[in-house]
Amino acid sequence: MTLAQLQALAAVVELGSLTAAADRLSRSQSAISHALTELEDITQVKLLWRDRQPVVLTAAGERLWPYVQSVVREAQLLRQQFSLSRGKLEGKLVVASLPSVSLAFVVPALEALKEMHQGVSAVLLEGTDSEVEGWIDDGTADIGVVAGTKTFVRNLPLLDEDFVAVAADGMFGGRKSVSAKQLSAAPFIFSKAGCGPVIADYFARGGAPLRAAFNVVEMRTILSMAEAGMGVSIVPRITLTYTPFGGRVLELSPRLHRSVRLSWNVAGNAVTDEFVRLVDAQRAKAAKAIQARAKKGR
């Protein structure tokens, strides 16, 4: 077997399709298919169910997957060390993140990383807390932004913040805070992105029914709909620092709080280390933006 075959397998498993794997590896789809066929012929083990969408590992493939990941990861680290010996930083970085914080921390750091190091390629995966944690755990992502309780080997605190309610001007009278029960009386704009499970749990703990009138992925759309009076929603406060909103912002009673951090398990990845440094630098900028927004009273 060859490293190229294992890289093809890893890309297909991570992305779920031969087409996406071919794009990532800058190879043709037929070349990816041929590499997988050769690997299965050489090992005499069926590794993938290719007729499914997304493509998934067989039971035998699942058992072998951690070893494949280890070989591909070590090869990447070795290439990085050769590049560093030439004074260059090269390699691939897969970052997983909660959508609500990607624009504040991840995207600026990735842009700076690619501008400074032309030989670095990056992939951003967005999902819920449990999805991001799973991607870090199983090695799909090198590093991720999480807000759950799961612990990882390495962590960089990014943000402590509250969630807030958003609504159109004129709603809820002169109130400065609202409860889940009060919000449940209005059409609710539910986030199908990373914060959805957290919001659903908040309503459950408050003994209030969550009647989602709208299911929306994009935070900008949620805020636009709330401002227009189409419904109310709950969003992380940080989203208001990079998305225009002219409606009302109310505190939640009781509070809904989260601690956001950058987490990763594997040491020795030079690209990951550089990304961490850039995110760390971005923290101060994000803090200033949050303070500026708070002074506006929104």
Give pLDDT tens digits for 6-17: 999 998 998 888
Fold that domain 1-88 belongs to in CATH? Arc Repressor Mutant, subunit A (1.10.10)
- Cα 6 to chain centroid distance, Å, stands at 25
CATH class for the domain made up of 158-257: alpha beta
Burial grade of 257 (CB within 10 A; 0-12, 13-18, 19 or more)? exposed
pLDDT tens per residue, range 192-230: 877 888 999 999 999 999 989 999 988 899 999 999 999
Query: Does 298 have pLDDT greater than 70?
Result: no
Q: Domain locations in the chain?
A: 1-88, 158-257
What average pLDDT does the segment 126-131 reach? 89
Name every residue whose Cβ is closer than 8 Å to that of residue 149 and which is 6 or more positions away in sequence. none
Tell me if 94 sits within 8 A of 141, measured CB to CB.
Answer: yes
Query: Does 297 have pLDDT greater than 60?
Result: no
What average pLDDT does the segment 34-46 reach? 94
State the pLDDT at residue 253: 95
Phi and psi for 111 in degrees, rounded to 5? -60, -45
Q: Nearest Cα to 227, choosing from 165, 287, 292, 293?
A: 165
pTM of the complete model beyond 0.75: no
Q: Which residue has the tokens 């101060």?
A: 284
* Tokens found for residue 112: 């700076």
